[in-house]
Amino acid sequence: MKDQAESLRQLVRRRLPQTSRTIAITSGKGGVGKTNISVNLALSLVRLNKKVALLDADLGLANADIVLGVYPNYNLTHVLQGEKEIKNIILEGPLGLHVLAGGSGVYDLANLGQWQLERFIRSMEQLDQEYDFLIIDTGAGIHRSVLSFVLSVDEVIVVTTPEPTSITDAYGMVKTIIQRTPETNIRVLVNMAAIPRDGEIVFQKLNTVVKQFLNRNILYGGYILRDPNVARSVLEQEPFVLAYPVSSATRSIERVAHTLIGDEVDTKSQQKGIRSFFSKMYNYTIRK
């Protein structure tokens, strides 16, 4: 395994002309809106002329497909097992958003032989050329299955609601990320805010504790207002930015997308993008 890891390191050390921004959407507590945010943020970025792929990495319940009304037959497992090429598992969603299902695929990374692994990582390089953003919808909580994604991306958006339990769990997630991968860019996004000011207040609460105990600053990713159209859109299986284009939820997420584009933080790490994401995932899967 050691030799394989070393040759992988060499493979990813080569500079790529362009890399995608890899962003995981996660949370400490479940049910705070990650899937709705992933899907609608991805679509808002597409509307701002970005090329975007959405990876459904919630291994518990694949729900990005339900929110989108898109049903993938194949997932990353099929690519890793050599049954499909990556381009064959990418589905076209609304507005030309590309959707990929993770399945249990990433766990199969650990079982690949040298040649297969290199072939897979090289095929990921093509995605770096193709996309501006890879948005990853993950599960909640600091379990290994969620963390391997969160610790492998360049940027993380931690979603919380204004509820105290959600804020406490968000802090737990932020703490774990800072301790394990300090180079990761962390933004906090406040969902289900009653008024815009709630977003600021919740963020300041979290940032104060993070500064005090972890000696770091985190970024404010914005707020999304509580809006009954979100639940309606889920029932209708149409993302809210499409079903309710003039709702307050849509206005909020468009603002978040705008800020995200304007505020590209230059990560010092040379290992960025989709190829690096998968090679880091590989390292987590072989580290028992």
Work out how close the CB of 141 gets to ligand ATP at its nearest, in angstroms, rounded to a whole number. Answer: 8
Residue linked to tokens 């995932």: 281
Q: Which is nearer to ligand ATP, 231 or 265 (CB)?
A: 231
170 lies in the binding site for ligand ATP (CB under 6 A)? no
| Smaller CB separation from Mg ion, 59 or 80 | 59
The SS3 of residue 253 is helix
Assess 41 for contact with ligand ATP (CB under 6 A): no
| Distance, first Cα to last Cα, the chain | 12
166 binds ligand ATP (CB under 6 A): no
Count CB atoms within 10 A of the CB of residue 142.
16
Residue closer to ligand ATP (CB basis): 157 or 177: 157
Of residues 78-117, those binding ligand ATP (CB under 6 A): none
Spatial distance between the Cα atoms of 138 and 58, rounded to a whole number of angstroms = 5
Q: What are the strands, taking DSSP E only, across 122-227? A: 133-140, 155-160, 185-193, 219-225
CB atoms within 10 A of CB 278: 25
CA distance 165 to 282: 32
SS3 214: helix
String marking each residue 176-205 x if it binds ligand ATP according to CB under 6 A: ---------------xx-------------
* Residue closer to Mg ion, measured from CB, 34 or 272: 34
Considering only residues 52 to 81 of the shown chain, the ones binding ligand ATP according to CB under 6 A are 58, 63
- The stretch near ligand ATP (CB under 6 A) out of 109-117, 146-154, 194-202, 226-234 is 226-234
Q: How far, in Å, CA of 191 to CA of 225, rounded?
A: 6
Residues contributing to the site for ligand ATP (CB under 6 A):
27, 30-36, 58, 63, 139-140, 191-192, 224, 226-227, 230-231, 234, 249
